[in-house]
Amino acid sequence: MGKTVTEKIIEPHLVEGKLERGSEIAIRIDQTLTQDATGTMAYLEFEAIGIPRVKTDLSVCYVDHNLIQSDFRNADDHRFLRSVARRFGLHFSPPGNGISHQIHLERFGRPGATLLGSDSHTPTGGGLSMLAIGAGGLDVAMAMAGKPFYLTMPKIYGVRLTGRLSPWVSARDVLLEILRRISVKGGVGYVMEYFGPGVGTLSVTDRAAITNFGAELGATTSVFPADSRTREFLESQGRGDVFTEITADPDAEYDEVIEIDMSTLEPLIACPSSPDNVVKVSEVAGRPVGQVLVGSCSASSLRDLLVVAKTLESREVSREVSFEINPGSRQVVENLVALGGYATLVHAGARIHQPGCLGCIGMGQAPATGSISLRTFPRNFPGRSGTKDDQVYLCSPEVAVAAAVFGKITDPRDLGDYPEFSLPEKYLPGDQRIEPPLAPEEAERIEIVRGPNIAPFPDFEPLPDDFAGEVLLKVGDNITTDHIMPAGAKVLPLRSNIPAISEFVYSAVDEDFPARARNSAGGMVVGGENYGQGSSREHAALAPRYLGVRIKLVKSFARIHKANLINFGILPLTFADPADYDRIAQGGRVEIKNLRGQVESGRGEIELVIGGETVMARLEVSPRHREILLAGGLLNWAR
């Protein structure tokens, strides 16, 4: 049987296990990336491991999330990250340089490499035929220390693309269509692999837009083949020497297959407040819009901004709309300026911000109360924008610019002929502000600079023999990491101070949770399906653990959050009988006799007594995971 692209990348990186679906494997990691919202903690964890220098082929520390320096905290952390990069042998991309995923695609990614990033949208690299996986910061720290990354060997979901995108339909619409068909849970346990005759019609940045947005399917990652379009992109970046052709064998087999004829797609839009709440733009056309944002890691390439600029050459933005642009990188800005697009955007009335994530994680750009905000971002979870009861829609740059012109949701085909433009054969690299690693002898002399907001990493106890506590919180389906540990300008600056940030755990759901958790002897959280979807932020596990949460009992987990729970010693249990969810009330007393013994023995089911009734729960983890849970977390186990 032939091999898929996924198998061809995993096989030479395999250090433990076999390519058997559902079994635990370990792979060698070639490259890592961090961003500043997760990176400060990742580097504190790396320090705790005690390795003097990163052992990967390449690691990059990006500052792209917490760009608003409203007080000393973000600025201090940016200085800390620069000193860490210099001390431990990383590349450093400073604030204002751009979004990690866009820059990595441009300057560092290479076909066939493995990339582990402390950001859930790391799969962007799959557009360049990398096996690029999002993970918690502690997993990335271990990879920087030369340790393999453990994961369940995923199934492979083949997406066969045929046809060609019509004018005013873009790569974003491909993934919106997949979300419409299989939902935010449809990719759990899979790698989404794209193949078929339609693949050759998509540029690398088109492909990256799809693999980036594919994180919202819950997939382990997404990947495209490396072909002539890949070579074309790398040569335009002056990096043609790293090209390697990687394509699936003709007789490769996929566990599932979905087919999309791209020529039949229409402009699509995700309505509030989930990425899979997808309809045709024509079905919601006419709704007034107050804000339009173009940018973020999934739609901020030169292609995306050029189509907007060319559309606006003879038009002006509606006076009723705040139309804002977040470029993906300094390279994008430099080339947009060289091609005249930047001046066009300014003249048309756009507000152009520094390259970075910004409003995507609630770092500014909050919409007005009661207004509709159209965004080319990957997520529209409730309140993520920074405005309570927000109305955020997700769309393509084409749909976004149409709304900006008309002041209402509009099918972009109403704009007339699609603008003509071409991308450079050779890009201005825009990488002059990226600092390369220092030589080892220079790095040894670097002192790591810590501001007063950086607190020591907390120590955690091993798993107790018995557990007694209460159900501190009961929540429903599709709880995101934004629900558990909010982002935004108020909370994110505390990311390197666990005692301080823990005061905001579940604040979007229950403001009294932190006090209730602190006052309990130990606690459990109960949830529904797809618990922990969204961002990779490990603070959504670390901060609850700091407050005394030792168990989470849910119907099903999102992949990254479950891994983070294990890393910090929180038992990730699922209901043996989902109907038991209805029998549990918040505040109920929880007891587990011989908890440590049950975990140590390898039992697949754990017996809990909740509110006087017996509930059976599954513990679906590997033997290595059991050792980590018994030790109280990955750092304890590693030591």
Mind telling me the catalytic residues? 64-65, 119, 379, 535, 537
Pair 569, 463: CB distance under 8 Å: yes
Q: What's the length of the chain?
A: 639
Nearest CA-CA partner of 217 in 241, 185, 260, 262: 185
Beta strands across the sheet bearing 14-16: 14-16, 24-27, 149-152
Give the whole-angstrom CA distance, residue 477 versus residue 152.
Answer: 23
Which residues, listed in sequence order, are joined to residue 117 by a DSSP beta bridge?
33, 134
DSSP state letters, 217-272: GTBSEEE--B-HHHHHHHHHTT-GGG---B---TTB--SEEEEEEGGG---EEEPT
Integer-rounded Cα radius of gyration of the chain? 24
393: tokens are 């829609």
Give the whole-angstrom CA distance, residue 290 versus residue 367.
Answer: 8
484: tokens are 């558990």
Give the whole-angstrom CA distance, residue 512 versus residue 256.
Answer: 44
Which residues, listed in sequence order, are joined to residue 590 by a DSSP beta bridge?
469, 610
Q: How crowded is residue 618: how many other Cβ atoms within 10 Å of its Cβ?
A: 16
3-state class (DSSP) for residue 86: helix
Which residues, listed in sequence order, are joined to residue 517 by a DSSP beta bridge?
none
3-state class (DSSP) for residue 632: coil
DSSP state letters, 402-460: HHHHHSB---GGGG-SPPP----SS-----TTPBPPPPHHHHTTPPPP--TT-PPPPP-
Count how many Cα atoms sit within 13 Å of the Cα of residue 207 in the half-sphere of its side chain.
Answer: 30
Give the whole-angstrom CA distance, residue 302 versus residue 279.
Answer: 27
| Cis omega (within 30 of 0) for bond into 118 | no
Pair 548, 597: CB distance under 8 Å: no
